[in-house]
């Protein structure tokens, strides 16, 4: 149970369930029970209620009434304060209901029922708070990931400093087993880091000088010296926490519907209870009997199960997604993602890695692949050609020796040439080679096959004879094909790729990942226009991109899904759903989780309303008593909440 307060009173169906859901920072449940006045008073109230029933059999009636009254005062103290608080705000709450029903029971001289009412309602509130805190604590755990202090190296001396006081550019030491305090770049040391809290990746990542590390991740087995690249309030983890804190402002249609419904439902049920209490007696019915039935209607019509059927499932789904490295920025996106039938993908950086790499090498004459790479890399190191980095990286990956190039000359629009030893080498495109009239039929055939696969070609010649072809392409992510196949199995009807590349490249990538539809030669604004057109066809469309140059299309989509946000702060800001790791398999997980959440919410709302309808009908017919109705109502509410918490698994 939580303290009376004047905020967070706008739960679903217009019922401010003060004891059912407090703010995320409420740590009352985390304290030992004997240090919480409300739970102590509840325990005392329960004990006094039990003693009151014993006294009703073995002691004078006045003594039993006194014990029951003490039980009501102890157990009802905090609910009464909360009820008064809600009345001042002109709000009908569960606590208002409890006070009214308890007062009515006392008027009927039902002291035992009044005491039981207080105990059961209060106990239900405590149990429901425990249940709700399970979901909330999964989000609150994010806040506790980053350590409060850091080992900062200042003037060669290691100093323990609060993370909020560490400045950009300072150096921190992270020892084995420590959590990394701030985002940064590794300057020295080798280690593996568990990044699951940020990216959802189960396998620890190897870190070496030059690699990025993130606040809240755990250094496993080596010491790292890290240069801080973000202040405490601007780390990737801080941005995640901020986005999570904002999620309540973005409500789903379920939540908006429940609020509109609550504006009618709650006053109507209170009106029904009053009508049952007053109208039949005015027509000659027994006053006591109908007043009692009205009390039962009051008790069974307002339930924490109704109030929490939506928010518990939403919070649980968002928390579960966050543990998997998927950040969902609100209940509205939980719902919308589960409805999506069309998903649009940017190609570069999303379906592919976005970094050109050497994928094929064709050799002619006596040259080997390594020799081709060796001489091409030697020339390319001086050229600055857009594809040079791919050739150089491939040579370095094979640990090939670096050759000295003399007489280097860049040939704009064609390539470059240089002398290695006694031989002259040309490295460039087809125009450079045809200018020397040295393309053979064999080379032309091989080049055509590679270009048909969307690969860019670098020709290598030695002394005016063609000795090799290097094919360079943007490589497809290993998880892309499997992730898209999973989406198809989930029933996503259309998967569409958008790219600024030419049709040949687009076709090659689409066939590799299993996409049937694609649009090529698109600028960012054109991508956004395609997304808008798809949405106008009905059913909405999600857009998956890297969150940087895809911002217009992400903003235009029903749900913008940014990926690789651990390496891009812009992606955290841009996407409605953020895949923290460069892992498309998490997209299928997010879609499946959203669909589960939709099913759970629909089931919870239907079940809660069914329970209320049955209990109110029985109360009107006089077929259920106050205490049994109360127990059934609270049990149903608790089971509904537990059903919502299944989303945490």
Q: How many CB atoms lie within 10 A of CB 88?
A: 9
Residue 1 within a domain? no
Beta bridge partners of 543: 344, 560
State the CATH number of the domain containing residue 169: 2.70.150.10
How crowded is the C-beta side of 634, counted as CA atoms within 13 Å?
Answer: 25
* pLDDT value of residue 173: 94
One domain for residues 307 and 445? no
One domain for residues 367 and 453? yes
Residue 65 within a domain? yes
Beta bridge partners of 498: 346, 519
One domain for residues 80 and 160? no
Q: Which of 346, 486, 582, 583 is catalytic?
A: 346
One domain for residues 346 and 384? no
One domain for residues 562 and 494? yes
One domain for residues 154 and 30? no
One domain for residues 193 and 337? no
* pLDDT value of residue 25: 36
**Active-site residue flag, 346:** yes
Distance (Å, whole) CA 264 – CA 451: 66
Residue 435 within a domain? yes
Residue 112 within a domain? yes
Distance (Å, whole) CA 79 – CA 72: 11
Record the pTM: 0.71
**What is the distance of C-alpha 40 from the center of its chain?**
37
- For β-strands 494-498 and 342-346, DSSP reports them as parallel
Residue 569 within a domain? yes
One domain for residues 164 and 207? yes
Residue whose structure tokens are 């966050």: 322
Beta carbons of 458 and 472 less than 8 angstroms apart: yes
Mean pLDDT per block of 10 residues along the chain (649 residues) reads 36 43 38 68 91 90 93 90 83 76 88 88 72 58 74 90 91 92 92 74 78 88 91 78 57 63 71 90 90 88 72 84 84 88 89 85 89 93 80 91 90 86 90 77 78 84 90 87 94 91 85 90 83 86 79 85 66 76 88 94 90 91 88 84 86
**Domain ranges, residue 621:** 12-141+245-315+597-648
One domain for residues 610 and 525? no
One domain for residues 201 and 82? no
One domain for residues 116 and 38? yes
Residue 415 within a domain? yes
Mark which of 448, 474, 500 sits at the end of a domain. Answer: 474
Q: What are phi and psi of 208, to 5 degrees?
A: -135, 170
Residue 321 within a domain? no
The count of domains in the chain is 4
One domain for residues 373 and 333? no
Distance (Å, whole) CA 62 – CA 67: 9
Residue 238 within a domain? no
State the CATH number of the domain containing residue 467: 3.40.1110.10
Distance (Å, whole) CA 472 – CA 426: 17
């Amino acid at each position: 149970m939580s303290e009376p307060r004047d905020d967070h009173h706008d739960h679903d169906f217009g019922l401010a369930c003060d004891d059912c859901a407090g703010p995320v920072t409420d740590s009352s449940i985390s304290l030992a029970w004997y240090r919480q006045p409300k739970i102590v008073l509840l325990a005392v109230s329960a004990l006094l209620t039990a003693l009151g029933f014993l006294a009703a059999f073995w002691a004078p009636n006045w003594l039993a009434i006194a014990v029951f009254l003490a039980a009501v005062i102890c157990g009802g103290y905090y609910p009464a304060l909360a009820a008064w608080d809600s009345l001042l705000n002109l709000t009908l709450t569960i606590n208002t209901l409890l006070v009214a029903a308890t007062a009515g029971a006392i008027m009927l001289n039902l002291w035992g029922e009044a005491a039981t009412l207080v105990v059961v309602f209060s106990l239900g509130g405590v149990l429901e708070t425990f249940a709700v805190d399970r979901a909330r604590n999964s989000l609150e755990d994010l806040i506790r990931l980053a350590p409060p202090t850091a080992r900062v190296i200042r003037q060669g001396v290691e100093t323990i400093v609060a993370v909020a006081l560490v400045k950009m550019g300072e150096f921190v030491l992270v020892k084995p087993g420590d959590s990394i305090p701030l985002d940064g770049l590794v300057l020295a040391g080798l280690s593996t880091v568990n990044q699951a809290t940020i990216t959802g990746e189960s396998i620890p990542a190897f870190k070496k000088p030059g690699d990025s590390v993130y606040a809240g991740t755990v250094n496993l087995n080596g010491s790292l010296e890290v240069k801080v690249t973000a202040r405490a309030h601007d780390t990737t983890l801080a941005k995640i926490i901020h986005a999570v804190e904002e999620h309540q402002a973005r409500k789903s249609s379920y939540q908006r519907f429940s609020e509109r419904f609550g504006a009618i439902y709650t006053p109507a049920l209170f009106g029904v209870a009053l009508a049952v209490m007053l109208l039949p007696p005015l027509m000659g019915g027994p006053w006591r009997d109908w007043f009692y039935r009205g009390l039962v209607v009051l008790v069974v019509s307002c339930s924490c199960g109704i109030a929490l059927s939506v928010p518990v499932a939403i919070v649980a789904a968002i928390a579960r997604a966050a543990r998997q490295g998927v950040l969902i920025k609100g209940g509205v996106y939980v719902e919308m993602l589960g409805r999506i039938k069309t998903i649009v993908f940017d190609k570069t950086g999303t379906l592919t890695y976005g970094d050109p790499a050497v994928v094929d090498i064709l050799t002619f004459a006596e040259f080997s692949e390594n020799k081709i790479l060796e001489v091409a890399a030697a020339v390319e190191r001086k050229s600055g050609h857009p594809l040079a980095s791919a050739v150089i990286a491939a040579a370095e990956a094979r640990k090939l020796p670096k050759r000295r190039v003399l007489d280097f000359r860049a040939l704009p629009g064609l390539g470059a040439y240089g002398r290695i030893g006694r031989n002259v080498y040309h490295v460039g495109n087809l125009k450079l080679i045809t200018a020397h009239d040295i393309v053979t039929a064999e080379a032309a055939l091989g080049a055509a096959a590679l270009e048909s696969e969307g690969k860019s070609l670098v020709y290598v010649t030695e002394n005016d004879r063609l000795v090799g072809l290097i094919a360079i392409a943007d490589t497809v992510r290993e998880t892309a094909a499997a992730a898209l196949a999973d989406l198809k199995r989930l029933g996503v009807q259309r998967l569409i790729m958008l790219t600024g590349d030419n049709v040949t490249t687009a076709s090659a990538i689409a066939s590799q990942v299993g996409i049937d539809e694609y649009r090529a030669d698109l600028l960012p604004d054109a991508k956004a226009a395609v997304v808008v057109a798809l949405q106008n066809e009905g059913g909405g469309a999600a857009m998956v991109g890297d969150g940087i140059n895809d911002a217009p299309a992400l903003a235009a989509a029903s749900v913008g899904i940014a990926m690789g946000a651990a390496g891009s702060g812009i992606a955290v800001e841009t996407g409605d759903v953020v895949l923290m790791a460069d892992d498309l398999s998490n997209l299928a997980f997010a879609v499946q989780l959203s669909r589960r959440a939709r099913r759970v919410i629909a089931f919870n709302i239907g079940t809660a309303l069914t329970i209320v309808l049955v209990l109110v009908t029985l109360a009107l017919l006089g077929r259920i008593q106050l205490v049994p109705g109360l127990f059934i109502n609270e049990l149903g509410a608790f089971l509904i909440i537990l059903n919502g918490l299944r989303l945490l698994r």
